[in-house]
Amino acid sequence: MDLNDVRGRFHKSIKPFTAFLIRHGIRPNVVTSASLIFMIPASYFLLNHEDELFISLFMVVAFLDALDGAVAENENAKTKFGAFYDAFTDRIIEGILYLCIAMAYENLMPLSFVTLILSYMVSYTAAWHKELKKIGVGKRAYRLIVFIIAFLMHQLFYGLLIISILAAITIAQRLYYVVRNYKEL
């Protein structure tokens, strides 16, 4: 199943909720800001090994990350600033997440930083050409799902390893696409 199909179904299924938010003055950027705000206590709980509280709040963060795009799309509220702000906030949240993992689990520090760098590179490649966002097996939504499942199974090492591998494959797929389609290289 393609992530875009899932995304489209999700957006359609919550259209009444997104309309409610817009009617009450809650714009997509407010939802984006809320995800960042929820990440602050989530990171505190991660650092203090309060796993249930962390993962509960982190799932709220992930839901809000999906919701902001749904609000923007469903309610015709897309803006260039909103797209920038959403991507910018996503990078901050990823940075906080992997930094906190490195601090809370010292044995995972090197892998956490590798995962962070590869995740950032996936985003960086897409920043150059919007079409690249559609390419690759390690899109952000998949990486978040892998992280949540690995955390719930108490298998952070393997989760970070899988995320790193997916990100590296995605980077390679995007580089291949660029080399194949832009002959001036």
Which DSSP symbol is given to 131? G
For 124, the domain range is: 105-185
pLDDT-based confidence at 19, cuts 50/70/90?
A: confident
Q: Which of 57, 79, 55 is nearest to 159 (CA)?
A: 55
Q: For residues 33 and 18, which has the higher predicted lDDT (pLDDT)?
A: 33
pLDDT in the model for residue 127: 85
pTM: 0.91
pLDDT in the model for residue 133: 86
In a 10 Å sphere around its CB, with 0-12 CB exposed, 13-18 middle and 19+ buried, how is residue 10 labelled?
middle
Distance between CA atoms of 37 and 31, rounded to whole angstroms? 10
pLDDT in the model for residue 3: 62
Contact assessment for residue 131 and residue 178, using Cβ atoms and an 8 Å cutoff: no
18 and 90 both lie in a single domain: yes
38 and 119 both lie in a single domain: no
109 and 141 both lie in a single domain: yes
- Residue 76 has phi, psi (to 5 degrees) of 50, 50
pLDDT-based confidence at 4, cuts 50/70/90?
A: low
State the total domains in the chain. 2
pLDDT-based confidence at 45, cuts 50/70/90?
A: very high
Distance between CA atoms of 155 and 159, rounded to whole angstroms? 6
Triad 31, 171, 107: Cα angle to 5°: 75
66 and 20 both lie in a single domain: yes
Q: For residues 11 and 142, which has the higher predicted lDDT (pLDDT)?
A: 142
pLDDT in the model for residue 22: 86
Distance between CA atoms of 29 and 21, rounded to whole angstroms? 12
Q: What average pLDDT does the segment 88-104 reach?
A: 98
Q: Check whether 36 has a pLDDT greater than 90.
A: yes
